[in-house]
Amino acid sequence: MGGRNPGAARRAPEPESLTLARPVFFVGFMGAGKTSVARRLARSCRVASVDMDTYIERREGKRVKDIFAESGEAGFRAIETEVLRELGAKPDPLLVSCGGGVVVTPENHEVFRESGFVVYLHVTADEAASRISDVSTRPLFQNLEAARARAAERLPLYEAVADVTVDTAGKSVFAIAREVQRILEKEGILCPQPK
Ligand SMILES: Nc1ncnc2c1ncn2[C@@H]1O[C@H](COP(=O)(O)OP(=O)(O)OP(=O)(O)O)[C@@H](O)[C@H]1O
Ligand SMILES: O=C(O)C1=C[C@@H](O)[C@@H](O)[C@H](O)C1
Ligand SMILES: [Mg+2]
């Protein structure tokens, strides 16, 4: 009855620790789910992730919207490029959720090409608008018409840097993270931790 140790609680198996062969950059329009998916994947694979917008806010001691207000978009983009280079060069590769506009700076494409694997999360401006509850935190998402135009303008840039594209329409963050995990395993980017 009940095996050798009937009193022992049955624990769920520990998730396997995985490691990244290269940094993985999540790109896509505002609201695509870059931050949410990278965070979810980090938790399920037990790898480290960093969100560029949050990292920039801590480094500068200011909110993104205040950097835009004080230094303009050009000031923000210069910081963004420095941070992207820094994160791409870490000896232990990370999952990096980029800001939505990281692709507008040509130098950033070199960082992607040279050091990383790029996952493009696709979302339409209309779907993104339905996901974002507070656009005041996104200075470049102030109205839907302008966001549609911006998304259309950026589409070829996202496609140019993408190693893989994942459509996020109608999928949960959990399902997208699982889909990305399978891709990264198949590509040999996410590998079992050497014992
Ligand atoms: N697949 C999804 N389905 C429904 N809601 C989502 C999905 N992905 C993200 N969201 C929601 O949309 C909002 C924006 O998500 P998130 O911050 O992850 O996007 P982002 O791509 O990082 O945007 P940004 O470029 O502005 O940083 C959050 O409230 C999040 O919970
Ligand atoms: O799409 C953009 O240009 C931006 C997206 C956000 O993640 C922030 O990086 C900032 O608001 C700019
Ligand atoms: Mg984000």
The answer to whether 27 and 98 are in contact (CB under 8 A) is yes
Atom of ligand 2 nearest to the CA of 138: 11
Q: Average pLDDT over the chain, rounded to whole?
A: 91
- Residue 31 annotated as part of some ligand binding site: yes
Q: Evaluate if residue 13 carries a pLDDT over 90.
A: no
Q: Whose alpha carbon is nearest atom 3 of ligand 1? A: 172
pLDDT at 195: 56
Instruction: For residue range 46-65, list pLDDT tens digits in order.
Output: 999 999 999 999 999 999 99
Closest ligand 2 atom, residue 53 Cα: 9
| 34 annotated among ligand-binding-site residues | yes
Lowest mean pLDDT among 16-25, 34-43, 71-80, 146-155: 16-25
Bridge partners, 24 (sequence order): 95, 117
Q: What pLDDT was estimated at residue 14?
A: 62
Which ligand ends up closest to the CA of 168? 1
Axis crossing angle, helix 173-186 with helix 34-45, rounded to the nearest 10:
60
For ligand 1, the distance from its centroid to the CA atom of residue 99, given in whole angstroms, is 12
Report whether 32 belongs to an annotated binding site: yes
36, 56, 140: residue to mutate for ligand 1 pocket, most atoms within 8 A of CB: 36
Distance 95 CA to ligand 3 centre (A): 13
The mean pLDDT of 98-126, rounded to a whole number, is 96
Q: Annotation-wise, does 54 bind a ligand?
A: no
Amino acid present at 115 = S
Lowest mean pLDDT: which of 25-39, 105-119, 160-174, 181-195?
181-195
pLDDT at 3 (0 to 100): 46
Q: How many angstroms separate the alpha carbon of residue 123 from the centre of ligand 1?
A: 10
ipTM above 0.90, yes or no: yes
Which of 138, 142, 154, when mutated, tests ligand 2's pocket best, judged by the most ligand atoms within 8 Å of its CB?
A: 138
Q: Could you give the domains of the chain? A: 19-185 (3.40.50.300)
- The answer on pLDDT for 68 being more than 80 is yes
Sheet holding 164-167, edge to edge: 49-51, 95-97, 24-27, 117-122, 164-167
134-184 pLDDT, tens digit per residue, is 777 777 787 899 999 999 999 999 999 999 999 999 999 999 999 999 999
pLDDT surpassing 80 at residue 190: yes
Please report the pLDDT score of residue 133 as a whole number.
76
CA angle at 94 for the pair 92 and 96, rounded to the nearest 5°: 155
